[in-house]
Structure 1
Amino acid sequence: MTPVLRVENLTRYFGGLRAVHEVSFDVAPGELKALIGPNGAGKSTCFNMLMGQITPSAGKVELNGEPITGLPPREIWRRGVGRTFQITGTYQSMTVAENVQMALISHHRRLFSMLPYAYRLYREEAMALLDVVGMAQQADRACAILAYGDLKRLELAIALAHKPTLLLMDEPTAGMAPRERIALMQLTADIVKERGISVLFTEHDMDVVFAHAHHIMVLNRGELIADGTAAEVRSNPHVQEVYLGGGTLYAAEETSHA
């Protein structure tokens, strides 16, 4: 089976600084895969290369068997890669539904023909996406007054608007309360299962990682030092040394991903 995402020897230098060095991995269809590592390990640089914000110094990236290395972010988005960010970026003056409608308008290539009736376009489709993330009841609320956890759910609905085959989630639970973190990642896991979307996410909360990720990769100083199941990564001495200074990684029971 062709992986949704294939990364081979991805490398990025900033002058003499080696940020990412020969990183290779696959993300399978319907897989929820985590990329973890200490601060400065190169996780965000990897994500930015995958999405086209940064051009790799070397290596290649394939999406569904087609090369996307060096393409601009909008073209990569058009080919089916969605992204959520650590810091949410919604239109605060618009309602929840209008934010999703704007994403749908872009997806349907109506940006230059949407005025003056944009508020009427794709309303039902937007409501269906808001229902998926549990935000339909707040459709007509202004984003400026939403709780942070609700903004994260809205951002997920926006990312789903163009029907991505791969979703990149950069610190999806950052800034959220523990219960909100659990709820958001369970929602993401449910979407992966129901829609067959592949997800690659970075995360510092090890409870979230080990509870939901099908496979886990560990990055350290720009190099991939582990890629395996939660049990394999948890018991890896090198991972324990570089990630927790010789401690033991979170050892809760793994969630079944049948």
Structure 2
Amino acid sequence: MSAAVLDVRGLSKSFGGVRAVDGVDFAVAAGELLALIGPNGAGKSTCFNMLNGQLRPDAGGVSLNGRSIVGLPPRRIWRLGVGRTFQITATFVSMTVRENVQMALLSHHRRIGSMFARASGLYRAEADALLERVAMRDQADRVCGVLAYGDLKRVELAVALANDPRLLLMDEPTAGMAPRERVQLMELAARLARERGIAVLFTEHDMDVVFAHADRVIVLDRGRLIASGTPDQVRADPQVQAVYLGSGAMYGHAQ
């Protein structure tokens, strides 16, 4: 494996007497898709929120390309090359597809003050190039409020790519999508990751998506890492089977 883009060591976070994340270690390399899975309350969302600065760890380290990002606010982390998509899409519904991407580009180029002028001509070609990558160029002039949910997910991915990320955090990327749309989105994410050398960490409740697209899988249960390996290794792991099989939790909605 190539050098880690993201390196997490001993990551821990408690809320009161509950250890939401307890001494978690993992790394993600350039071009790799790593799935983070586990039942409700496993600590996945808490882990994600520490990685992009929404929560500060109680202990442990998080390094991006060898640089510690612990304690940095989300915007600083974003500027260092960390993109994120969310379980519920967050686009400006009254703006066009292109304008949504342009807003992200304005922020990336530190031109957000230009939004008070007509921003429609700024970074238009760059926005269209990103939309081309996610197969949304032909819908660039449509208002986001009328798009199908799967198309909104593609727009959100284009927005996440606007800062040329080295690491992409995808929180439940296929939630709410039809089965065919799930496959298409993850194939797109995998292709972009490998073409551009982006490290991708994603959470996902659909195990078919995880086992079909992840290069490696890590499993959290009650805040602790209980398994790590290839999809086949994790699927066959006795501890994973003991934790999930029989309760149906492995196919439950991730948190």
Indicate whether the TM-score tops 0.5.
Answer: yes
Structure-2 residue corresponding to 1:49 = 50
Q: Name the TM-score, length of structure 1 as normaliser.
A: 0.94
- How far is the alpha carbon of 1:15 from its aligned partner? 1.0
- How far is the alpha carbon of 1:243 from its aligned partner? 2.0
Alpha-carbon distance in structure 2 between the residues aligned to 1:198 and 1:140? 30
Structure-2 residue corresponding to 1:131 = 132
Asked if 1:99 is matched to 2:118, the reply is no
Alpha-carbon distance in structure 2 between the residues aligned to 1:246 and 1:16? 26
Alpha-carbon distance in structure 2 between the residues aligned to 1:113 and 1:148? 30
Native 8 Å contact 2:31 2:195 kept in 1? no
List, as ranges, runs of 4+ consecutive aligned residues in structure 1 with deviation greater than 3 Å: none
Higher relative contact order (CA 8 A, sep 6+): 2
Structure-2 residue corresponding to 1:72 = 73
Alpha-carbon distance in structure 1 between the residues aligned to 2:46 and 2:226? 16
- What is the aligned length? 250
Q: Deviations over 1:18-75 (max 9, x none)?
A: 1000000011111111000001100000000000000111111000000001110000
Structure 1 vs Structure 2 CA RMSD: 1.5
Q: Which amino acid aligns with 2:199?
A: S
**Paired residues for 1:81-100 under 5 Å:** 81-100=82-101
Q: Which amino acid aligns with 2:28?
A: V
Q: Which amino acid aligns with 2:237?
A: N
Q: Deviations over 1:123-144 (max 9, x none)?
A: 0000000000000000000000
Structure-2 residue corresponding to 1:179 = 180
Alpha-carbon distance in structure 1 between the residues aligned to 2:133 and 2:85? 16
Alpha-carbon distance in structure 1 between the residues aligned to 2:104 and 2:141? 16
Q: Name the TM-score, length of structure 2 as normaliser.
A: 0.95
Alpha-carbon distance in structure 2 between the residues aligned to 1:185 and 1:79? 24
Structure-2 residue corresponding to 1:236 = 237
Q: Which amino acid aligns with 2:138?
A: Q
Structure 1 unaligned blocks of 5 or more: 251-258
Alpha-carbon distance in structure 1 between the residues aligned to 2:224 and 2:113? 43
Asked if 1:151 is matched to 2:152, the reply is yes
Structure-1 residue corresponding to 2:19 = 18
- How far is the alpha carbon of 1:241 from its aligned partner? 1.3
- How far is the alpha carbon of 1:246 from its aligned partner? 7.4
Percent identity of equivalent pairs: 68
Native 8 Å contact 2:98 2:141 kept in 1? yes
